[in-house]
Amino acid sequence: MELTLTRPDDWHLHLRDDAALLTTVPDTARTFHRAIVMPNLKPPVTTVEAAIGYRERILDALPSGMSFDPLMTLYLAPELSPSTIREAVASAHIQGVKLYPRGATTNSDAGVANLNGVMTTLETMAEVGLPLLIHGEVTDRSIDIFDREAVFLDKTLGPLMERLPTLRVVLEHITTEDSVDFVKAHPEMGATITVHHLMYERNDMLAGGIRPHLYCLPILKRSSHRDALIEAATSGEGQFFLGTDSAPHAISDKESDCGCAGCYTAPFALELYAEVFETHGKLDRLEAFASLNGPDFYGLPRNTDTVTLIKKESIIPLAKAFGEKEVRILRGGEPVTWSVI
Ligand code: NCD
Ligand code: ZN
């Protein structure tokens, strides 16, 4: 069995920096032509100049013979000014601004504590049409971690959409039925869905032993939410598109007293998405999700080349080099039923 698709793109990706790029860039460029590159470096990417410099480092790490177009984002720090937004729109390489509620996830300390403080910047984004990409979780310690996404919709995103109805918003890595419903109720919005949130639910991480390599944020939820995500991803609906949120951390940082959040999915992401879509009898919808809906939402051309997958089982390697350390690959040591040729 063979499946040829328009070459896909990854609409939410962490490539990290420096030596890590020698692993992450080829792993993504092998199957994806473009990726929305997250700006949560240390220090975060808050200027157009820093984004362009980062893009150059990414391209320097691209092996010859591979093609890849990194689509850059700016990190919404409280001091990000409307003039930087105008400069970003004028640059050919910046496609969005990322909102991390302060303290929500990896490298979010410089994020936004209160949206009112960045309202003028958001108004400028609405005016010029630059998308806001949102990590949709509240950070209030009194809110249970499994409820943080749903509460964010109620308390933060709903009011924001009412206040700025023309702002273009992508709700990133959605993990709940609540988010699927919210996105459907706002037809102008987009949402990305990771492969790990389609494959796993919280018992996979917590029952029968704790599995730190499945720990990511937003955290895996109960299986009914996973089912709602599968339904949305395989629906063919234009609002939902592929975003791996591939987020590598060294094994020593994951298998630790206080382990980091993030799953390294990039090396076999497309193969794993194909497996999920096939399991649910929706392989014919994979191309819309992986290759068409994303560029249509961002107003970018669809890719013109293709990738081909064949039904051939292989074992995913357990880990690979990551700078001077190693990173575990999601589902490492286990089989995957599709291969990219
Ligand atoms: C991401 C990371 O490590 O940068 N981690 C994660 O669990 N997804 C940050 C993020 O997207 O939340
Ligand atoms: Zn992410």
pLDDT at position 304 = 98
Mean pLDDT of 33-55: 98
Residue 147 pLDDT > 90, yes or no? Answer: yes
For the Cβ of 194 lying below 6 angstroms from any atom of ligand 1, the answer is no
Ligand 1 atom with the shortest distance to the CA of 248 = 3
Mean pLDDT of 155-178: 98
For the Cβ of 216 lying below 6 angstroms from any atom of ligand 1, the answer is yes
- Closest to 8 (Cα-Cα) out of 314, 295, 337, 313: 295
Model pLDDT for residues 111-136, shown as the tens digit of each residue: 999 999 999 999 999 999 999 999 99
Ligand 1 centroid distance, CA of 79 (Å): 22
* Torsion over CA: 128, 150, 113, 43 (sign): negative
For the Cβ of 135 lying below 6 angstroms from any atom of ligand 1, the answer is yes
pLDDT at position 105 = 87
Average pLDDT over the chain reads 97
For the Cβ of 261 lying below 6 angstroms from any atom of ligand 1, the answer is yes
For the Cβ of 254 lying below 6 angstroms from any atom of ligand 1, the answer is no
Among 139, 216, 327, say which to mutate for ligand 1: greatest number of ligand atoms within 8 Å of CB: 216
Ligand 1 centroid distance, CA of 145 (Å): 15
Per-position b or e across 15-39, b if 16+ CB within 10 A of its CB? bbeeebbbbbbbbbbbbbbbbbbbb
Ligand 2 centroid distance, CA of 101 (Å): 13
Residues 6+ apart with CB under 8 A from 208: none
For the Cβ of 27 lying below 6 angstroms from any atom of ligand 1, the answer is no
For the Cβ of 245 lying below 6 angstroms from any atom of ligand 1, the answer is yes
pLDDT at position 3 = 98
Q: Which ligand approaches the C-alpha of residue 197 most closely?
A: 1
Catalytic residue among 245, 253, 257, 284: 245
Mean pLDDT of 246-274: 98
Closest protein CA for atom 4 of ligand 1: 106
Ligand 2 centroid distance, CA of 217 (Å): 8
Q: What percent of the chain has pLDDT above 70?
A: 100
- Beta carbons of 221 and 202 less than 8 angstroms apart: yes
Whether the pTM exceeds 0.95: the reply is yes
Closest protein CA for atom 9 of ligand 1: 106
Set out the domains of the chain in order of their start, with CATH numbers: 2-340 (3.20.20.140)
Model pLDDT for residues 91-112, shown as the tens digit of each residue: 999 999 999 999 998 899 999 9
Model pLDDT for residues 60-78, shown as the tens digit of each residue: 999 999 999 999 999 999 9
Closest protein CA for atom 6 of ligand 1: 262
Model pLDDT for residues 300-336, shown as the tens digit of each residue: 999 999 999 999 999 999 999 999 999 999 999 999 9
One-letter-per-residue 3-state SS of the chain:
CEEEEECCCEEEECCCCHHHHHHHHHHHHCCCCEEEECCCCCCCCCCHHHHHHHHHHHHHCCCCCCCCEEEEEEECCCCCCHHHHHHHHHCCCEEEEEECECCCCCCCCCCECCHHHHHHHHHHHHHHCCCEEECCCCCCCCCCHHHHHHHHHHHHHHHHHHHCCCCCEEECCCCCHHHHHHHHCCCCCEEEECHHHHHCCHHHHHCCCCCHHHCCCCCCCCHHHHHHHHHHHCCCCCCEEECCCECCCCHHHHCCCCCCCCCCCHHHHHHHHHHHHHHCCCHHHHHHHHHHHHHHHHCCCCCCCEEEEEEEEEECCCEEEECCEEEECCCCCCEEEEEEC
For the Cβ of 40 lying below 6 angstroms from any atom of ligand 1, the answer is yes
pLDDT at position 106 = 87
Model pLDDT for residues 181-199, shown as the tens digit of each residue: 999 999 999 999 999 999 9
Ligand 2 centroid distance, CA of 320 (Å): 20
Mean pLDDT of 232-245: 98
Is-catalytic flag, 253? Answer: no
